[in-house]
């Protein structure tokens, strides 16, 4: 059994919340281009697709668990601050500023091992850079995308903190 299985994560993390799966499916609908989904199928979200394995994250940080725990203590607050910035750029209908925030989120979340969150941020960034203006404005106007990113931050943070035994 891998360390990112529900049992290894602890009794309080037995399943992906149905609301998150539903929200992820809504996001997938936004990211469909030309009839083909641009993201992996989100109908079967599991822990393995939300965060990377304990071993892989540990390797990325040179096995330094103290460093991982330290970074995890600031992970969610820093990403929630980024969401505030994203929301401000969205309200101003600024795709360049919003894409820059999503780029930063994609990198930080990827480094921390929050792979689903990193993928979503990267897909949204790509759309804000490459889509036509009407599609960009549609994405910026959809406040549910910020709400979904918030849910993913909180959920990913909970899984990662549980995985690395960081008190919540």
Q: What is the pLDDT of residues 107-123, one digit of tens each?
A: 999 999 999 999 999 99
Distance CA(136)–CA(124), nearest Å, equals: 9
Instruction: Say how many domains are in the chain.
Output: 1
Position 168 in a domain: no
Position 1 in a domain: no
**Roughly how many angstroms between the first and final C-alpha of the chain, as a whole number?**
24
Position 41 in a domain: yes
Instruction: Provide the domain limits for residue 72.
Output: 6-163
Task: Let me know: does 44 contact 26? Beta carbons within 8 Å.
Answer: no
Position 157 in a domain: yes
Position 111 in a domain: yes
Cα–Cα distances in angstroms (integers) from residue 33 to residues 76, 95, 153, in the given order: 30, 18, 25
Q: In this predicted model, what pLDDT tens digit does every residue of 19-29 receive, in sequence order?
A: 566 556 555 55
Distance CA(23)–CA(147), nearest Å, equals: 9
Position 33 in a domain: yes
Work out the angle at residue 46's Cα, subtended by the Cα atoms of residues 155 and 31, and round it to the nearest 5 degrees: 80
- pTM for this structure? 0.76
Which residues have a Cβ under 8 Å from the Cβ of 54 and sit 6 or more positions away?
2, 3, 4, 8, 163, 164
Q: Is the pLDDT of residue 60 over 60?
A: yes
């Amino acid at each position: 059994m891998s360390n990112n299985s529900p049992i290894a994560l602890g009794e309080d993390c037995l399943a992906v919340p149905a609301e998150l799966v539903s929200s992820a499916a809504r996001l997938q609908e936004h990211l469909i281009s030309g009839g083909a989904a641009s993201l992996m199928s989100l109908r079967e979200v599991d822990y393995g697709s939300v965060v990377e394995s304990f071993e892989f994250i540990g390797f990325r940080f040179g096995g330094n668990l103290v460093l991982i725990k330290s970074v995890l203590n600031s992970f969610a607050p820093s990403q929630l601050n980024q969401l505030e910035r994203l929301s401000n750029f969205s309200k101003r209908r600024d795709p360049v500023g919003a894409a820059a925030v999503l780029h930063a989120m994609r990198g930080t979340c990827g480094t921390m091992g929050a792979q689903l969150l990193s993928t979503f941020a990267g897909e949204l960034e790509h759309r804000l850079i490459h889509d036509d203006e009407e599609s960009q404005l549609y994405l910026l106007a959809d406040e549910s995308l910020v709400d979904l990113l918030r849910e993913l931050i909180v959920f990913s943070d909970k899984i990662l903190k549980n995985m690395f035994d960081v008190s919540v």
